[in-house]
Amino acid sequence: MAASKGKPADQAELFSASTAKEIQDILWKAADKLRGSIDAAQYKEFVLGLIFLKYVSDAFEERRTELAKELAEDGISEEQIGDFLEDRDEYTGAHVFWVPETARWSWIATHAKAQGVGKLLDEAMDAIMRENASLTGVLPKIFNQDRVDQKRLGELVDLISDARFGGSGDKPAQDLLGEVYEYFLGNFARAEGKRGGEFYTPSSVVRLIVEILEPYEGRVYDPACGSGGMFVQAAKFIEAHRGRGHKADISVYGQELNERTWRLAKMNLAIHGIDGNLAARWGDTFADDKHADLKADFVMANPPFNIKDWARDETDPRWKYGVPPKNNANYAWLQHMISKLGERGTAGIVLANGSMSSQSSGEGEIRQALIEADLVACMVALPPQLFRTTQISACLWFLSRDKSPQGARRLDDRRGEILFIDARAMGKMVDRTERIFSESDLGEIADTYHAWRGTASARRTGLTYANVSGFCYSANLEKVREHGYVLTPGRYVGAVKVEEEDAESVTKRINELTKELYELFEKSTKLENLVREQLGKIYV
């Protein structure tokens, strides 16, 4: 695309963009130009820090405009309005970060060329952290460095300034900036390959967990929270089903081992308007549990698979069902999450497929103990290639403290039963290496669980549960014992039922195939004769 007169090509392209997706793509390409001049380990923080700064500034300006309108309608004079507009309590009381004047995006964009964009950005990050205690130590101050290409950084700031974040339908600018943040997180995960899995869980997997658990209200916990995707999706679920005003019906608790990822999570929650407790610092969940006394209503997690080097203490009270082996933390994660469940808590956990059947180092005995304690509610076998960042096949464990009807909730009594769902044939490939669940896939799996459990959502839509050959099966504990406590869904759901064809249809199909075969024989004979003829000409 040719550049408009007086504007760089990226800006000209941005002005012609009409959708949020196009804006995201253009910003990604522009940000990617900076990659070579920034430490690879800092690149995510660098770009996402800019988006976060734009978010807090936009939210501040939006509140400022709203406040000015309210004051004018109340008959307040312009002079008095000016004083009120600089009252930080008017912003923090509305859950908006206080942004000092020199940290506002408009100030930075205006003064960048004269004072140096990198210097202004570092000073802005410092000022915002100083004025907002919850952001202390979170924002990156890495822009004013010799190796950072300041010209390209200035161009990126201009692009973010020009992006029409408020111009797509009814979505406010904050929502669109949140989408941009998520888009960048996903692209970073793809670009980093295996390392990207440390902070990012594919959105369709997160959505499946959330759709099944239905976390409408209560305490939500993730002990390996990465960049906070589980929490963001839980908030979106509530908004979709009960409206924006109910997002505060959940309390969010998380922990993350990696310092940089912890910073990304803090920014991600803030940019989506989620008040979360991710602890004052990052830390190892096994060695330093930041939420030791927490009892959660919902636990949702994608912990790192098959960790061989973890902080194992054989005397840890969390190992109620058996001490996990030192060379694999899968059953340590399971038992840690069980220890966090309230009396009616439920959990959805992504783990490697080996966790369903492993017999090594005592894992089989721990799994047996979990099953006999009636803690396992549902097992879902996932299709391959959902995780671009790893080739390890994965599954979902759904745990429940209480599978009884639970009184007024009027759930179906599923004590002594486990639902098995085989979703390996579901999903669609979006490119050669990545698969996603479609909306219908997500609906079918979640509806099957809800129908089995007899949830309110299932009753509203008239869903009833039935075993489906090749897809789902509700097994009692005796059946699971017969299978040696192996929880692989394929062992229980059976083969896909194939509809029988009538004799006439079978005969017709055989005749068609026979005719096709004879035609192929004739072509083969003609080709053979032609080859012989040509060879004969060569050797005569």
CATH number at residue 44: 1.20.1260.30
Co-location of 262 and 369 in the same domain: yes
Q: Is residue 500 part of a domain?
A: no
pLDDT reading at 166 higher than 60: no
Question: Which residues, other chains included, contact 422 with Cβ-Cβ below 8 Å and sequence gap of 6+?
Answer: 381, 470, 471, 472, 489, 490, 493
Same structural domain for residues 358 and 218?
Answer: yes
What gap in Å lies between CA 416 and CA 319, rounded to an integer?
A: 22
The CA–CA distances, whole Å, from 295 to 163, 166, 265, 299, 347 equal 43, 40, 22, 10, 12
Closest listed residue to residue 26, CA positions, set 137, 203, 164: 164
Q: Is the pLDDT of residue 505 over 80?
A: no
Distance CA 464, CA 305 (A): 35
pLDDT band at 18 (very low <50, low <70, confident <90, very high): very low
HSE (side-chain half, CA atoms, 13 Å) at 417: 16
Q: Are residues 162 and 224 in the same domain?
A: no
Contact between 102 and 123 under an 8 Å Cβ cutoff? The reply is: yes
| Domain shared by 214 and 134, yes or no | no
* 100 domain-assigned: yes
Which of 152, 170, 189 is the C-terminal boundary of a domain? 189
pLDDT at 113: 86
486, 353 contact by CB (below 8 A): no
453 shares a domain with 481:
yes
Distance separating alpha carbons of residues 486 and 367, to the nearest angstrom: 8
**CATH number where 224 lies:** 3.40.50.150
Kindly report the pTM of this predicted structure.
0.82
- Are residues 159 and 254 both part of a single domain? no
Task: Give the residue carrying structure tokens 């005749």.
Answer: 511
Going by pLDDT thresholds of 50, 70 and 90, the confidence category of residue 4 is very low
How far apart CA 358 and CA 187 sit, in angstroms, is 34
* In the predicted structure, residue 171 carries a pLDDT above the cut 70: no
498 located within any domain:
no
Same domain, 372 and 420: yes
Q: Residue 2: inside a domain, yes or no?
A: no
Q: Chain-wide mean pLDDT for the chain? A: 87
| Residue 1 forms part of a structural domain | no
Q: Are residues 439 and 529 in the same domain?
A: no
CA distance 479 to 472: 14
Residues 482 and 511 in one domain: no
Question: Residue 400 above 80 pLDDT?
Answer: yes
| Percent over 70 (pLDDT), the chain | 90
Helix (H) or strand (E) holding 293: none
In a domain, 440, yes or no: yes
State how many domains the chain has: 3
Domain boundaries, position 134: 9-189
* Residue 418 near residue 472, CB atoms below 8 Å: no
| One domain for residues 206 and 92 | no
Q: Which residues pair with 220 in a beta bridge?
A: 252, 298
Please state, in angstroms and as integers, the Cα–Cα distance from residue 239 to each residue in 202, 215, 236, 271, following that order.
20, 11, 5, 15
pLDDT tens for 264-306 read 999 999 988 898 999 999 999 999 999 999 999 999 999 998 9
User: Of 134, 158, 189, which residue sits at a domain end?
Assistant: 189
Phi-psi region of 140 (alpha: psi -120 to 50; beta: other; left: phi over 0): beta
Q: Locate tokens 């497929």: which residue?
A: 353
- Does residue 484 have a pLDDT over 80? yes
N-term to C-term CA, the chain: 62
The domain boundary, picked from 157, 189, 221, lies at: 189
Residue 129 within a domain: yes
Full DSSP string of 443-461: HHHHHHHHHHHT-HHHHHH
Give the separation between CA 287 and CA 316, rounded to whole angstroms.
10
Q: What are the b/e assignments for 215-233, b being 16+ CB within 10 Å?
A: bbeebbbbbbbbbbbbbbb
Percent share of the chain, pLDDT over 90: 56
288 CB neighbour count, 10 Å cutoff: 14
**Same domain, residue pair 169 and 44:** yes
Same domain, 438 and 330: yes
The average pLDDT across 29-47 equals 77
Assigned domain for 294 exists: yes
Cβ contact 352:393 at 8 Å: yes
pLDDT tens across 341-360, in order?
Answer: 999 999 999 999 999 999 99
